[in-house]
Each structure stands twice: as C-alpha cells, then as structure tokens.
Amino acid sequence: MTTPLLTVDNLNVGFATKAGIVQAATEISFQITPGEVLAVVGESGSGKSVTALALMRLHPGNTVITGDVMFEGRDLLKMGDAEMRSVRGREIAMIFQDPMTAMNPVFSVGDQIVETIRVHDRTVSKSEAWTRSVDLLEMVGVPEPKRRAAQYPHEYSGGMRQRAMIAMAIANEPKLLIADEPTTALDVTVQAQVMEVLQKVREETGSAMMLITHDLGLVAGSADRVQVMYASRLMETATVDEIFYESKNPYTRALLESIPDVDGTKTELHPIPGNPPSLLNTPVGCAFRPRCSMAVEECAKSTPVLTNIRGQHSSRCHRVDDLAPLEAWSS
C-alpha cells in the first residue's frame, strides 16, 4: 500500500456554546492516498464540512479540536500559523459550495487567481501570474479566457464562476483538493459539466480529492472510496462498488433507497423517517437508532464501533451480520 497523503486519526471537533458542547465530529479516522478521490457523504449537519474545515484549521474561534491530522508527515493541528498558511492554497486547496459568494466582488477573476499564486510565490511577477491565470481559465473551459480574466465575478454565470473557483484552487497545483459540495449551488445541467472539469484537472495535476457531497449520484460517477457520515460519526467506509452493491450499514442502505431510480420500474421512494438527532449532549447508543428499521435493544445500550469487514470496508452497526445481502442495485 502506498503511503497515505493525509492521515486523520481520532479527530474530534466540538463547538463550545452556552448550552454545552456541540459535538460536530466524533472519532473520525481516515486516510487519503495520493491521487485518490474520497467522497464524504451525509445529511446536513452530519459533520462533513466541519471535518474539512478542521483539516484546514478554518474553524471558528469557539471550536475545540483533538486528534491528529498528519499531512505528509506533518501534523496540521500542531503547526504554527505561518506554516499552516503555506499549506493552505498550496498543498491543500479548497473549492467552496457557493461560487456566488466565494469570490471577491471588487477584483477581476484574473486578479483573484493572480493573488492566489502570488500569496505563495512572490518570485512570480504579476504579468507572469496573469498569463498563468489565463491558461488556468482556459484549462477549466472558460471560453475566451483572455477577455474573461479581466471581467468581474458578477459578469460570470454560476457555472463559469465555479470553473473559475476550480482554476483558483488548482493554481498552485495542490496535492489535495477539498471540494465542499462543489455543485450544490448549480443548475443540474451545469453540475455534470463542472464535475467533468473537476475530474479533468484532477487527472492533469494528479492531486487527490476529498469530495464532500450529499448527492450519491455524484459519488457513483467520480469517487474511488466513500465515507458515510451520520450525526458526527463515520457510519461506513468502503469503495464505491462496495457501498452501492454490498453496503453493510442500515443508514447507507436507507440513503440508497431514497434515491429515485430513473429508468427502472416506478417504485415507491423510501425517505428516511424522522430527523437527525441534536448534536448537543448526545445520549449513548447508536445515533441512527430512532430512525432505523432494524434497531434492537442493544442499539440503545451501547454505541456501536466501526468494525472492519473486509479490506477497506468498515461499518458501524451492531447488526452487521444480520443484514441481508443487498438486492442487485441496478444502474
């Protein structure tokens, strides 16, 4: 096995509030190898984004973080601020969810890319960086890149803006891209194009990606491995195929059942009943228990642990062995 690029070990993220500590990420451990795409899937508030922000140390001031985040042998959580800044944007870059607000309205798109290049390397002259940014815009499929580089974000459409965000993220050829729901704010037709661009630039720069999403369709098309999160914990982690065909976790299965099947017979959709639990003072036991169709008494007594099933496939459930094999999941 290749040496991992990023190793997260027992990461806990909590927010101190007046009512107590809100545990947003609990005992998260995972690895990303170079060039790999890891998808992190889960409902809103399951801790996906919080985990990503904690890796980048972009969390708000009242956050309590414990654990180790090793990136190429260096612990990101124990780094000095200056060293951390040199990692952000150069080693690890981030693509944000909403391209409408993630660009500074008073600078042209080209200028913003120039800025990301020159933050890390002052030896690049402004005109060199400008030429680079035009090239980058061309690479992500912005038409007439020379003219568009001098335009302002408000003159771009949503899809174009997200392309520009990608150009900005890969400007310094980072080893790891964190894409936080990169297509959520976009039109469905544009989503596919943007994902294509993301795949293309990732292949060209050879960077790994942590793709945060709640769209399983997106995962099927672009990820190598999947990590399912629920109520601040990892529920299941496996390769894409294992998730879709051999899932060993009731929550993952419930998620799969809630996807409409486009070309199959018209069967009823199965939404997951109820709501995710509050993350404030979570009780013992499995967090998914109240919504789980397979819950038994034991689920209320103790929190299940993430147990390895086979290879890289792990699941957090007391009844792993009782789960029936998944019916063939077509398409």
Check residue 200 for interaction with other proteins (CB under 8 A): no
User: Judged by CB under 8 A, how many residues of this single chain contact other proteins?
Assistant: 38
- 70, 11 contact by CB (below 8 A): no
**Contact code string over 166-185 relative to other proteins, x by CB under 8 A:** --x-----------------
Question: Which one among 31, 116, 183, 303 touches other proteins, defined by CB under 8 A?
Answer: 116
Closer residue to other proteins (CB): 8 or 95: 95
User: What φ, ψ does residue 78 adopt, rounded to 5°?
Assistant: -110, 5
Question: Which one among 54, 56, 164, 223 touches other proteins, defined by CB under 8 A?
Answer: 56
Measured from the Cβ of residue 295, the count of other Cβ atoms closer than 10 Å reads 17
Collect contacts of 263-269 with beta carbons under 8 A, ≥24 apart.
263/331, 264/330, 264/331
Question: Which one among 8, 38, 102, 167 touches other proteins, defined by CB under 8 A?
Answer: 102
Compute CA distances 241 → 258, 312, 313, whole Å: 18, 12, 11
Task: Name the minimum Å distance from CB 54 to other proteins.
Answer: 13
Binding segment for other proteins among 37-45, 97-105, 198-206, 219-227 (CB under 8 A)? 97-105
SS3 129: helix
Binding segment for other proteins among 22-30, 105-113, 192-200, 274-282 (CB under 8 A)? 105-113
Enumerate residues 6+ apart whose C-beta is below 8 A from 301: 284, 285
Tell me which residue has tokens 């959580």. 77
Q: Which helix (H) or strand (E) holds 25?
A: strand 20-32
Question: Which one among 74, 78, 146, 270 touches other proteins, defined by CB under 8 A?
Answer: 146
Check residue 249 for interaction with other proteins (CB under 8 A): no
Q: What does the alpha-carbon distance between residue 18 and residue 41 come to, in Å, rounded to a whole number?
A: 29
- Nearest Cα to 207, choosing from 79, 68, 76, 38? 38
Binding segment for other proteins among 146-154, 245-253, 257-265, 291-299 (CB under 8 A)? 146-154
Check residue 71 for interaction with other proteins (CB under 8 A): no
Please give the residue ranges that form the binding site for other proteins (CB under 8 A). Answer: 56, 58, 82, 85-90, 93-94, 96, 98, 101-108, 111, 115-116, 119-120, 126-127, 130, 144, 146-147, 150-152, 154, 165, 168
